[in-house]
């Protein structure tokens, strides 16, 4: 249970802490068509590296 005065600031602090724990690059796939297929192709391509 976390109690914070500002929920947005609290969520931001949690997100920053989570990102600092993992040394990974982030690729964002956005849009309304083709996200799942694109995500799976990227996963296969980067998984082979």
26-40 burial: b if 16+ Cβ within 10 Å, else e: eeeeeeeeeeeeeee
d(CA 49, CA 44) in angstroms, rounded, equals 9
Domain parsing of the chain, residue ranges: 25-49
Query: For residues 49 and 42, what is the distance between their CA atoms, to the nearest angstrom?
Result: 11
pTM passes above 0.85: no
Q: E strand or H helix at 2, and its extent?
A: none
28 compared with 49, residue with greater pLDDT: 28
- With a cut of 90, say whether residue 10 has pLDDT above it: yes
Question: How much is the pLDDT for 48?
Answer: 76
- What does the pLDDT average to over 17-45? 91
SS3 14: helix
First to last CA, the chain: 40
């Amino acid at each position: 249970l976390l109690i914070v005065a500002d929920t947005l600031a609290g969520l931001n602090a949690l997100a920053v802490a989570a990102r600092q724990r993992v040394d990974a690059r982030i690729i964002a796939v956005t849009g309304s068509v083709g996200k799942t297929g694109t995500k799976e192709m990227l996963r296969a391509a980067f998984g082979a590296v």
